[in-house]
Chain A
Amino acid sequence: DAGITQSPRHKVTETGTPVTLRCHQTENHRYMYWYRQDPGHGLRLIHYSYGVKDTDKGEVSDGYSVSRSKTEDFLLTLESATSSQTSVYFCAISEPKQGSGQETQYFGPGTRLLVL
Chain B
Amino acid sequence: DAKTTQPNSMESNEEEPVHLPCNHSTISGTDYIHWYRQLPSQGPEYVIHGLTSNVNNRMASLAIAEDRKSSTLILHRATLRDAAVYYCILNHNNDMRFGAGTRLTVKP
Residues on A lying within 8 angstroms of B by beta carbon are 31, 35, 40, 42-45, 59, 90, 92, 94, 96, 99-110
Enumerate chain A residues within 8 angstroms of B43, measured Cβ to Cβ: 90, 92, 107-110
Does any Cβ of A come within 8 Å of B99's Cβ?
yes
Enumerate chain B residues within 8 angstroms of A44, measured Cβ to Cβ: 98
Enumerate chain B residues within 8 angstroms of A90, measured Cβ to Cβ: 43-44
Cross-chain pair count, CB within 8 angstroms? 55
A107, B49: Cβ atoms closer than 8 Å: no
* Contacts A/B (CB < 8 Å), 6 sampled: A42-B98, A42-B100, A100-B94, A101-B30, A101-B32, A107-B44
A interface majority secondary structure: loop
Residues on B lying within 8 angstroms of A by beta carbon are 30-32, 34, 36, 41-46, 49, 51, 87, 91-101
B46, A101: Cβ atoms closer than 8 Å: no
Q: Which residue of A lies closest to B90 (CB)?
A: A101
A105, B96: Cβ atoms closer than 8 Å: yes
A101, B92: Cβ atoms closer than 8 Å: yes
Which of A105, A106, A110: most chain B Cβ within 10 A?
Answer: A105
CA distance A35 to B92 in the complex (A): 17
